[in-house]
Homo-oligomer: A and B are copies of this chain.
Amino acid sequence: MNKERPKGERRGLVLVYTGDGKGKTTAALGLVLRALGRGFRPRIFQFMKHERAAFGEHRALEKLGVPIEGLGDGFSWRSRDLEKSAELARAGWQRAAAAIASGDWDLVVLDEVTYPLRFGWIPVTEVVETLRARPRHVHVVLTGRDAPAQLVALADTVTEMKKIKHAYDAGVPAQKGMEH
């Protein structure tokens, strides 16, 4: 053991799950489960999910009393109204930023937030400032491909989920309860 490491210091972490592999959102959900078990209050914002999304995780989290909000319009690459998608993302970010700043939530998940960042819909500097200014006990988990360098620099822990192989490439369709 390194004696110089501080012992028992309690402080919120910034975690980033990025990369092209599976497991980014599910790892964030697993953290929510772990946090719940410790009596923490988690809250989830999903930037690319429709507000009426009802995947497996939504049903389970509802039962557990964890707020999970879809902030998007079910955006897809075929979306015809990108300006509307951008507006929704900006409005959603205001809600998420307020939740982080409030200190009312021990863990805030910003699921798939890297996409609106990459699209330029939300300024990276604004997210970085909000994370820097957050109450000390608040953990924030950010997920999505291609996490911006500023975010990686600020984060305490960054994992790249790298796709080695994926069932879909072999012709297996997405399985309910596993992928949605």
Which residues on A are within 8 Å of B, measured CB to CB?
4-13, 15-19, 21-40, 55-61, 63-64, 106-107, 139, 152, 155-168, 170-173, 175-178, 180
Bound-complex Cα distance A102 to B8 (A): 43
Q: Chain A interface mostly helix, strand, loop or mixed?
A: mixed
Q: Report if A56-B27 is in contact (Cβ < 8 Å); known contacts: A22-B15, A160-B164, A165-B155.
A: no
Can you pick out 10 interface pairs between chain A and chain B where the beta carbons lie within 8 Å of each other?
A: A22-B159, A23-B161, A28-B30, A29-B30, A35-B178, A39-B177, A40-B177, A139-B177, A152-B165, A159-B164
Q: Which residue of B lies closest to A159 (CB)?
A: B21
A56 near B35 (CB under 8 angstroms)? yes
Bound-complex Cα distance A161 to B19 (A): 9
A106 near B22 (CB under 8 angstroms)? no
Determine which residue in A23, A106, A160 has the highest number of CB atoms from chain B within 10 A of its CB, and name it: A23
B6 near A38 (CB under 8 angstroms)? no
B11 near A175 (CB under 8 angstroms)? yes
A56 near B28 (CB under 8 angstroms)? no
A57 near B37 (CB under 8 angstroms)? yes
Among B29, B106, B107, B156, contact of A29 (Cβ-Cβ < 8 Å): B29
Q: Which 6 A-B pairs have the closest CB atoms?
A: A26-B30, A29-B30, A37-B56, A37-B59, A38-B177, A37-B60
Q: Which residue of B lies closest to A12 (CB)?
A: B175
Q: Report if A178-B33 is in contact (Cβ < 8 Å); known contacts: A19-B162, A164-B158.
A: no
B177 near A34 (CB under 8 angstroms)? yes
A6 near B171 (CB under 8 angstroms)? yes
* Chain B residues, CB < 8 A from A17: 23
Q: Report if A30-B7 is in contact (Cβ < 8 Å); known contacts: A13-B172, A15-B22.
A: no
